[in-house]
Structure 1
C-alpha cells in the first residue's frame, strides 16, 4: 500500500480556515484530500488538514501558514495499514433500540426480530459506533414505538445514510438523504443499495436543503440532522420552513455544553425540545414544531 502523509494546522477563524483549505488544494504535490474542522472546545479554533501521496513541500506549507495566520503545519507520515481489515477487526455490531448496525463480517450475529442495517467496513464513517448516531437511532426507535410513522422523512448531512436507512427499513414511505460531500453521497448510495433500499431511499448532494428534490418533498414530518452545533444553528430557519406543523426533528452532533444554545435557537424558530438524551459527551435532541 502507498505511504501517505498528513499536514495539519489550526487557525482562529472559519473564514481563514476556508481560505487556507482552498490554497492548500493548489499545492504541488497536490493533496488527495483537504478537510476543515471546527475544534469543539468552545475556543473558536479551526483545523485544516491535507492528505498527500508524496511528502508536501515544507517551505510552501510554512508560507501558507504565515499568510493565513495559522500555526506551523505538523507533517506526519501515515504508516501503511490495511484500514478496511483494521476496521473489520475493531468494529463490533451496535444495538440501538430495534436497530442492529453491523458489517458483513458480522452477518451471522443479527439477532432475531431486529432491524439490521449493513454498513461495510470500507464505509465506516457514521456506522452507529459514535454516540450521536446511536442516539439518533434510539430516538427514531422511540418515536416509532410510540406509534409515530414518518410519511415524509429527510436526513440532512447523512454521511453513510444509516439514519435514513433506519427510517426506510421500518416504514413503507419514501425517504430522502442529502450530504454536502460528493464522496459521502456515493458512500450513502452504496450502503442504500447493499441494504436493498434503493427503491425507497434517494440520495442527493446538497448543502442543507439546497436541492430541488428536497424542496419538492417538503414539508417533512421527520427530519434528521446529525451534523455539528453551528451548522445546526444555521439550519434552524430552513428546518422550520421544511418541517410540517407537529413534525419532529432529531438533532445531534452536539456536545452536552452546546445543547442549551441549540434548543434556544430552535425554540425561536417554533421548534421545541421534547426530549434530551446523553451518550458520553454527546446529546441527541428530539424536537417538535408547534402545530
Structure 2
C-alpha cells in the first residue's frame, strides 16, 4: 500500500513545534504520524513532516505553511518497498537510561549488566530510535532510581511493545500491551516471545482501555501512553479510572508546544505533574494520580 508524505522546513524549534501541532489537527485525511527534526547543517532550520495513508489536502497544507512562515509543503507519494528490510539495515543499538534497545544482529554487543530489549524490525512504531520512545524509557529509569516497584503495568498504544517489555524486564510483573493496530499487537507479542518475557506480557487489539484485556488487570501502578496529544487528551479519563491512587502515567508523543494543554486536561482528572523530559522536538511527561 502506498503512503504519502508532506514535508517542509521552517526556522527555529518553537515555530516548528507550533506547525507540527497544527498539522496534527488536520482532518480528511488526518496524518498517521508526525516528524519534527532539526536539520543539522548549522542554519537553525527544522524539518516538519506528516505521513498519510491517502493524498493529503494540499490546499490546507498551503494555508498552514503560509500562516506559520514555512516553505511550501512538498507532497510525495511513497511506493511500497520492503520497509522491514530497510529498518533492519539501519537499526543500531540505542541507550535510554539503563536500557539498551537493539536488533537481533547486535545482540552480542549488548553489555550483560544492562537490561536489553531486542526489537525485530516490523511494521509497527517503537524501535527505540524516536525521541518519544527514548523519553519514556528514560522516565522509567527515573522511576526505578526513585524506588518505584509497580505491580501491574499497562502500555496503551504499544507499537512494538518496547515500553511494556522494559517494565516486565525489571519487575517481572503482569504487563498489558494494547494497540488499535492489530499488526502492532501481533508485533508486540512476537517481541515478548523473542525476549522471553511472554510469561508476563499479554497483548491485544484495543482502542485505549476498551475491550476486556486492559480493564481486567486494573488498577495499574504505571501506565505508558506514547501516542499523540489529541488522543492523549481523550484518553485522560480512562487512564484516571484504571490507575491506582498514587499511580503514575508516562505520556509522550508530544511536541513541546502541546505540553501545557495535555497537562491541563490531566490536572482536571486529578493528576499532578511530577517531571518533564525534552528530547529533540518531543516532550515526555510524568503525571501522578492523586
**TM-score normalised by structure 2 residue count:** 0.77
Distance in structure 1 (CA, Å) of the matches to 2:238 and 2:127? 27
Q: Secondary structure at the match of 2:149?
A: coil
**Aligned-residue RMSD, C-alpha:** 3.1
The aligned counterpart of 2:104 is 104
The aligned counterpart of 2:174 is 174
**Could you tell me whether the CA contact under 8 Å between 1:5 and 1:75 is conserved in 2?**
no
**Could you tell me whether the CA contact under 8 Å between 1:37 and 1:46 is conserved in 2?**
yes
Distance in structure 1 (CA, Å) of the matches to 2:2 and 2:50? 20
Distance in structure 1 (CA, Å) of the matches to 2:93 and 2:176? 25
Q: Show CA shifts across 1:28-65 (max 9, x none).
A: xxxxxxx745798xxxx986424xxxxxxxxxx8xx98
The aligned counterpart of 1:88 is 88
The aligned counterpart of 2:53 is 49
The aligned counterpart of 1:157 is 157
1:101 Cα offset (Å): 0.3
The aligned counterpart of 1:223 is 223
Q: 1:89 to 1:221 in 2, by over 3 A?
A: same
**Greater RCO, CA 8 A, separation 6+:** 2
The aligned counterpart of 1:134 is 134
1:17 maps onto 2:18 in alignment: no
1:267 maps onto 2:267 in alignment: yes
The aligned counterpart of 2:77 is 76
Structure 1: gaps of 5 or more residues: 19-34, 51-60
Distance in structure 2 (CA, Å) of the matches to 1:274 and 1:209? 23
The aligned counterpart of 2:43 is none
**Could you tell me whether the CA contact under 8 Å between 1:154 and 1:176 is conserved in 2?**
yes
Q: 1:147 to 1:199 in 2, by over 3 A?
A: same
1:242 maps onto 2:242 in alignment: yes
Q: Show CA shifts across 1:91-143 (max 9, x none).
A: 21011111110001101110131001000124563111000000100111111
**Could you tell me whether the CA contact under 8 Å between 1:204 and 1:211 is conserved in 2?**
no
**Could you tell me whether the CA contact under 8 Å between 2:5 and 2:52 is conserved in 1?**
yes
**Could you tell me whether the CA contact under 8 Å between 2:158 and 2:179 is conserved in 1?**
yes
Q: Secondary structure at the match of 2:260?
A: helix
1:75 Cα offset (Å): 6.4
Q: 1:267 to 1:107 in 2, by over 3 A?
A: same
Q: Secondary structure at the match of 1:89?
A: helix
Which stretch has the larger CA shift, 105-114 or 222-231? 105-114
Q: 1:15 to 1:130 in 2, by over 3 A?
A: closer
1:7 Cα offset (Å): 5.3
Distance in structure 1 (CA, Å) of the matches to 2:125 and 2:142? 24
Q: Secondary structure at the match of 1:259?
A: helix
The aligned counterpart of 2:210 is 210
The aligned counterpart of 2:144 is 144
Q: Show CA shifts across 1:155-212 (max 9, x none).
A: 0000000000000000021110100011111111111111111111000110010021
Structure 2: gaps of 5 or more residues: 8-22, 37-48, 63-74
Distance in structure 1 (CA, Å) of the matches to 2:160 and 2:219? 23
**Could you tell me whether the CA contact under 8 Å between 1:37 and 1:48 is conserved in 2?**
yes
